[in-house]
Amino acid sequence: MKKVFAVALGILTAIGGFVDIGDLVTNAQVGARFGLSLGWVVILGVLGICVFAEMSGRVAAVSGRATFDIVRERLGPRMGMANLLASMAVTLLTFVAEIGGVALALQLVTSVSYVLLVPFVAFIVWLILWRARFSVMENVLGLFGLSLIVFAVALWQLGPDWGELLHRMAVVDKPGDEQWRTWAYYAVALFGAAMTPYEVFFFSSGGVEERWTAKDITTMRANVFIGFPLGGVLSLAIAGSTAVVFGPLDAGVDTLGQVGLPVAVALGKIGLAIALVGFVAATLGAACETGLSVGYSISQYHGWQWGKYVRPDVAARFHLVLALVTIVATCVLLTTVDPILVTEASVVFSAVALPLTYLPILIVANDEDYMGGHVNGRLANTLGTVYLGVIVAAAAAAIPLMVVTRMGS
């Protein structure tokens, strides 16, 4: 019974923790402009993150080594350092976007300018990173993040033509007033939002924090293969409800308030209140995960003690990194840069940085020295190789598409 409870809790946390500011903003923007015609990208991305997270989770469970240990062991200190700099630049960008997202969500509640809220939010994030127990942090924020289910309820209440909505997902098409290159740009952005590198840094390091062993592989797989796809359903619900409300208006989504609008239209004040709780929990949870990911990765490269399973003074350099990145993110946001713009950039650069960490994990997941009998099977390797191609293609296309479409405008 206890085991069932643990698995259920893990799955619920995975659902709530899947959606972050990148998913919220990108899915709403795409829903408003393209309907569900890019829904297949969400499915492609969710399956991709399942493949990637399952491999890195399995490596962490069997060998006790997290992602950046593996990156440095396989690629050496030079390539490892280049990889670290690129991955951390992207993750820091995501961290900035998440803290900005929390502040924007609180602005919707309090009507206080988000810039004034940023230092407060950053302090809360740092306090959680320093003091809160790992499991408490993950479970509480993940469960509150489940309030985003309100988007699925809203979509149902809006009563769309389901056949028409699902038909759009099944065919490769775009609305007549959009160009194909804009369509391709948003496809890459959605893919980057679903497959953000920090998710894997956090997932594998979290496995070491929770002291997974080979016995926990089944639980880990349940979290990945049930939790992540259900999180993907939430993403599609956000895109779908925005498509129903914004589609006929021919309007775009530029603020977090507009992301919540379909819920307000369908369910009124109560629905909006629940959505706001979901926004705060999802972005705050993701802020903690991205912040920790930076600390984890830098410490793992250098071999420093890291993790919340030891006292902060035992992992002093890890906590110093956490404090520094929180200060840096605060400073970036205090320049009044638009957090939504940072989010858009972060999902595209996520797609660029993804192959750097994917390839070492794919290789080590095949290495019997690390994995013993738990090496990749035929299915994992087939999917792993297909996704290697998809990830490399998305990474190569991302920046050219960003330039020619002027970030999708």
Question: Is residue 77 a contact point for other proteins (CB under 8 A)?
Answer: yes
3-state DSSP percent of the chain in helix, strand and coil, to 5: 85, 0, 15
CB 63 to other proteins: min, Å: 4
Size of the site for other proteins (CB under 8 A): 47
Q: How many C-beta atoms lie closer than 10 Å to residue 123's C-beta?
A: 12
Helices 67-110 and 114-131 pack at an angle, to 10 degrees, of 140
3-state SS assignment for residue 342: helix
Nearest to 295 by CA among 126, 147, 105: 126
Nearer to other proteins, 76 or 268 (CB): 76
Q: Which span sits near other proteins by CB under 8 A: 30-38, 61-69, 221-229, 237-245? A: 61-69
Query: Tokens 């990474």 identify what position?
Result: 395
Nearer to other proteins, 73 or 254 (CB): 73
Site for other proteins in 194-233 (CB under 8 A): 208, 211, 213-215
Nearer to other proteins, 99 or 356 (CB): 356
CB 339 to other proteins: min, Å: 33
Question: Is residue 64 a contact point for other proteins (CB under 8 A)?
Answer: yes
CB 244 to other proteins: min, Å: 42
Question: Is residue 76 a contact point for other proteins (CB under 8 A)?
Answer: yes
Site for other proteins in 383-402 (CB under 8 A): 384-385, 388
Q: What x-and-dash track marks residues 342-381 binding other proteins by CB under 8 A?
A: -----------------x--xx--xxxxxxxxxxx----x
Q: What x-and-dash track marks residues 144-183 binding other proteins by CB under 8 A?
A: ----------------------------------------
Among 43, 81, 264, 393, binds other proteins (CB under 8 A): 81
Q: How many C-beta atoms lie closer than 10 Å to residue 1's C-beta?
A: 5
Nearer to other proteins, 178 or 367 (CB): 367
Site for other proteins in 272-331 (CB under 8 A): 300, 302-306, 310, 314
CB 52 to other proteins: min, Å: 14
Cα separation, 230 vs 168, in Å, equals 20
Sequence-separated (6 or more) residues with CB below 8 Å from residue 264: 271, 272, 275
| Burial readout 158-194 (b: 16 or more C-beta within 10 A, e: otherwise) | bebeeeebeebbeeeebeeeeeeebbbbbbbbbbbbb
Cα separation, 117 vs 130, in Å, equals 20
Do residues 160 and 244 lie in contact, with contact meaning Cβ atoms separated by under 8 Å? yes
Q: Which span sits near other proteins by CB under 8 A: 35-43, 69-77, 132-140, 227-235? A: 69-77
Do residues 318 and 209 lie in contact, with contact meaning Cβ atoms separated by under 8 Å? no
Query: Tokens 């991302």 identify what position?
Result: 398
In this structure, what token pair is assigned to residue 254? 């530029």
CB 13 to other proteins: min, Å: 22
Question: Is residue 186 a contact point for other proteins (CB under 8 A)?
Answer: no
Nearest to 53 by CA among 382, 380, 347: 380
CB 129 to other proteins: min, Å: 18
Interface residues toward other proteins, by CB under 8 A: 61-65, 69, 72-78, 80-81, 208, 211, 213-215, 300, 302-306, 310, 314, 359, 362-363, 366-376, 381-382, 384-385, 388
